[in-house]
Amino acid sequence: MDATQISSELTKVLYTNDQIQERLTELAAQIDEKYRGKDLLLIGVLNGAVMVMADLSRHLATHLQMDWMAISSYGSGTQSSGVVRILKDLNTDIEGRHVLVVEDIIDTGLTLAYLIQNLNSRKPASLEIMTMFRKPDALSSPVDVAYVGFDLPNEFVVGYGLDYAGRYRNLTDVGTLAPHVYS
């Protein structure tokens, strides 16, 4: 689905699918350069990172493996609850591996800060973060991000994996959700 199909539910489109794919191509080139010849493991954070991880992996020339974690601090609301829970852990031992965590969005940074602390305790050879979107004005827990697709305003956005109560993940564009939808 694209933004034209749900234009009454969005106040504006921030990034089109073409812009997102172009940026992923640029990020993939940087990641390929960094991890050339290394044993790369992508860890996607469910559910939002599915779109990013699938498209990023297709843009990469580097051999890689994938695994998934599910972590939550939102529930079905529009703001982080402040409580981080691991809903699904990794199936892969990451000790000695080069790990790139793939996120859809970094909002407050709380969830990601917890995740990075947890993963570092498992002794990877390296651990970096790639996020498609970041809200710099919402950060309350700073995290070091190696690869950022786009910075977003501190608004409630949906699309390209970003959801509201499980909906809008399949929107190919990213836009600001109209307040009448969630109020």
Residue spans of the domains in the chain: they are: 17-153
Mean pLDDT, the chain, rounded, equals 93
Kindly state the tokens that stand for 58: 């297709």
Please state, in angstroms and rounded to a whole number, the distance separating the CA atoms of residues 12 and 10.
5
pLDDT band at 98 (very low <50, low <70, confident <90, very high): very high
Q: Which CATH architecture has domain 17-153?
A: 3-Layer(aba) Sandwich (3.40)
What is the pLDDT at residue 51? 97
What is the pLDDT at residue 141? 84
Active site residue 107: yes
User: What is the model's pTM?
Assistant: 0.92
Question: Per-residue pLDDT for 82 more than 70?
Answer: no
Q: Which of 81-85, 122-126, 150-154 has the lowest mean pLDDT?
A: 81-85
Q: Which residue has the higher pLDDT, 80 or 128?
A: 128
Average pLDDT of the segment spanning 128-133: 98
Annotated catalytic residue: which of 55, 104, 107, 163? 107
Q: What percent of the chain has pLDDT over 90?
A: 85
Please state, in angstroms and rounded to a whole number, the distance separating the CA atoms of residues 14 and 169.
15
What is the pLDDT at residue 85? 84
pLDDT band at 111 (very low <50, low <70, confident <90, very high): confident
Q: Which amino acid is at 87?
A: L
Torsion of CA 129, 104, 38, 94, to 10 degrees: 80
pLDDT band at 75 (very low <50, low <70, confident <90, very high): low
